[in-house]
Amino acid sequence: MTNTEELVKQLINKHGIHRNSLLPVMQGVVKEESYLSDEAMIEIARGLDLSAADVYGTASFYSFLYTEYKGKNIIRICKTITCKMKGKHKIVEAIEDHLKIKKGETTRNGKFTIMEANCLGWCHKGPVMLVNDDVYPEVEAEKVVEILESYC
């Protein structure tokens, strides 16, 4: 049994063999493996008695579920007009300069991926940056390197 098979089995045992267990199982795989591989989606489909198309369709619908490898630390930058007006471009530039990658890319060491998000729900505190589950409201470009270094 592969590590992925074992992980999916553990998650299904934890969340149950029900359709409504699909998202928690998928989230658990992403948390442990950084993305949903084809193998993981097939194992989830088997374990929950769903079609692989159902699992992939769900995975591709949600922006926090990935079907391609992402870095250990996901950096999300809000791209709403509010954050744009509050200088989100300076934040993006600081991140890209420090990590030497562009939006949508992952660092060679696999530590970081930069992504844009349609809304992070913090418009009143923009610009906002999310690193994994940690929210950085009213983030300033001068603080970006310090924040990112804390994840190394």
Mean pLDDT of the chain: 93
**Based on the domain organization, do 145 and 115 belong to the same domain?**
yes
Residue 34 located in a structural domain: yes
Mean pLDDT of 102-112: 94
Q: Does the pLDDT at position 118 exceed 90?
A: no
**Based on the domain organization, do 89 and 28 belong to the same domain?**
no
Residue 68 located in a structural domain: no
**Based on the domain organization, do 85 and 55 belong to the same domain?**
no
Nearest to 79 by CA among 132, 115, 49, 26: 115
Residue 146 has what pLDDT? 95
**Based on the domain organization, do 106 and 51 belong to the same domain?**
no
Segment 123-139, tens digit of pLDDT: 889 899 999 989 999 99
C-alpha 84: how far from chain center: 21
Residue 41 located in a structural domain: yes
Segment 81-90, tens digit of pLDDT: 988 999 999 9
Domain boundary, last residue among 17, 39, 61: 61
Residue 121 has what pLDDT? 86
Helix (H, G, I), strand (E, B) or coil at 76: strand
Residue 67 located in a structural domain: no
Segment 63-83, tens digit of pLDDT: 788 898 889 899 999 888 988
Residue 64 has what pLDDT? 82
**Based on the domain organization, do 47 and 115 belong to the same domain?**
no
**Based on the domain organization, do 51 and 82 belong to the same domain?**
no
Segment 13-43, tens digit of pLDDT: 999 999 999 999 999 999 899 899 999 999 9
Q: Does the pLDDT at position 59 exceed 90?
A: yes
Cα three-residue angle 85-87-93, rounded to 5 degrees: 140
Residue 82 located in a structural domain: yes
**Based on the domain organization, do 79 and 135 belong to the same domain?**
yes
Residue 40 has what pLDDT? 96
Largest CA distance in the chain: 51
Residue 66 located in a structural domain: no
What lies within 8 Å, CB to CB, of 98 at 6+ separation is: 144, 145, 148
Output the pTM of the full model.
0.76
Q: Which domain holds residue 27?
A: 3-61
Residue 122 has what pLDDT? 87
**Based on the domain organization, do 55 and 81 belong to the same domain?**
no
Residue 43 located in a structural domain: yes
Q: Total structural domains in the chain? A: 2
